[in-house]
Amino acid sequence: MPRALSAADQETWPRTISFLVLGCICYALPWSVFAALPIPSDNSSVLRIQGSNTIGARLGPALAKGLLEEQGLKAIRIEPGMAENEQRVLAKTEDGRSVVLDVAAHGSGTGFTSLAAATADLAASSRPIKDSEAQSLLALGDMNSASAEQIIALDGLAIILHPSNPLAALSTVQLAQIFAGEITDWAQLGVPAGAITLYARDDKSGTFDTFKELVLSANGKALAAKAKRFESSEQLSDAVSQDRNGIGFIGLPYIRQAKAVAIASGDSQPMLPSLTLIATEDYPLSRRLFLYNAPDTNNPWTQALVQFAHSPRGQAIVEQSGFIAQTVQAVKIPAHTQMPASYQALAQNAQRLSVNFRFQEGSANLDNKALRDLNRLIKYLRDHDKLRDKVVLVGFGDAKADPARAELLSKLRAMAVRRELNKEGVIFRDIIGMGDELPVAANTADDGRIKNRRVEVWVY
Q: Give residue-wise pLDDT tens across range 98-125.
A: 999 999 999 999 999 999 999 999 999 9
Phi, psi of 244 (to 5 degrees): -60, -20
Calculate what percentage of the chain has a pLDDT beyond 90: 75
| pLDDT for residue 152 is more than 80 | yes
Half-sphere exposure of 373 (CA within 13 A, CB side): 26
pLDDT at residue 283 in the model: 94
Query: Among 286, 289, 268, 270, which residue's Cα sits nearest to residue 278?
Result: 286
E strand or H helix at 444: none
pLDDT at residue 378 in the model: 96
Paired strand residues for 200: 229
Which has the minimum average pLDDT: 17-31, 81-95, 131-145, 429-443?
A: 17-31
Query: Among 331, 344, 233, 240, which residue's Cα sits nearest to residue 282?
Result: 331
| pLDDT for residue 15 is more than 60 | no
Count, in order, helices (H) and strands (E) of the chain: 14, 18
Q: Give residue-wise pLDDT tens across range 216-225.
A: 988 999 999 9
How wide is the angle at C-alpha 289 spanned by C-alphas 435 and 123, nearest 5°? 135
- Confidence band, pLDDT 50/70/90 cuts, at residue 29: very low
Q: Give residue-wise pLDDT tens across range 43-62.
A: 889 999 999 998 999 999 99
Q: 227 by DSSP, 3-state: which? A: coil
Q: Give residue-wise pLDDT tens across range 252-285.
A: 889 999 999 999 998 888 999 888 889 999 999 9
pLDDT at residue 444 in the model: 77
pLDDT at residue 268 in the model: 86
- Confidence band, pLDDT 50/70/90 cuts, at residue 26: very low
* Average pLDDT value over all residues in the chain: 89
How far from each other are the two terminal CA atoms of the chain, in whole angstroms?
A: 37
| pLDDT for residue 448 is more than 90 | no
How far is C-alpha 332 from the geometric centre of its chain's CA atoms? 22
pLDDT at residue 227 in the model: 98
Q: Give residue-wise pLDDT tens across range 189-239.
A: 999 999 999 999 998 888 998 899 889 988 999 999 999 999 999 999 999
- All structural domains of the chain, each given as residue ranges with its CATH number in brackets, are 31-152+289-320 (3.40.190.10), 155-279 (3.40.190.10), 328-459 (3.30.1330.60)
pTM: 0.79
Alpha helix stretches (DSSP H) within 82-152? 108-116, 131-136
pLDDT at residue 11 in the model: 34
Work out the average pLDDT over 161-189: 97
Q: 125 by DSSP, 3-state: which? A: strand
DSSP 369-414: HHHHHHHHHHHHHHHTT-SEEEEEEEEE----SSHHHHHHHHHHHH
pLDDT at residue 27 in the model: 34
Work out the average pLDDT over 19-46: 57
| pLDDT for residue 25 is more than 50 | no
pLDDT at residue 3 in the model: 41
| pLDDT for residue 23 is more than 50 | no
Calculate what percentage of the chain has a pLDDT beyond 70: 92
pLDDT at residue 421 in the model: 97
How far is C-alpha 78 from the geometric centre of its chain's CA atoms? 25
Measured in residues, the chain has a length of 460
How wide is the angle at C-alpha 76 spanned by C-alphas 71 and 81, nearest 5°? 120
pLDDT at residue 4 in the model: 43
Cα dihedral 134, 139, 140, 146, rounded to 10, equals 50
Asked if residues 312 and 420 have their Cβ atoms less than 8 Å apart, the reply is no
Query: Among 183, 160, 170, 169, which residue's Cα sits nearest to residue 239?
Result: 160
Asked if residues 4 and 262 have their Cβ atoms less than 8 Å apart, the reply is yes
Query: Among 371, 380, 320, 322, which residue's Cα sits nearest to residue 353?
Result: 380
pLDDT at residue 454 in the model: 96
Q: Please state the three-class secondary structure of 264-319 as a single string.
A: ECCCCCCECCCHHHHHCCCCCCEEEEEEECCCCCCCHHHHHHHHHHHCHHHHHHHH
Phi, psi of 276 (to 5 degrees): -60, -50
As a whole number of angstroms, the distance between CA 270 and CA 250 comes to 18
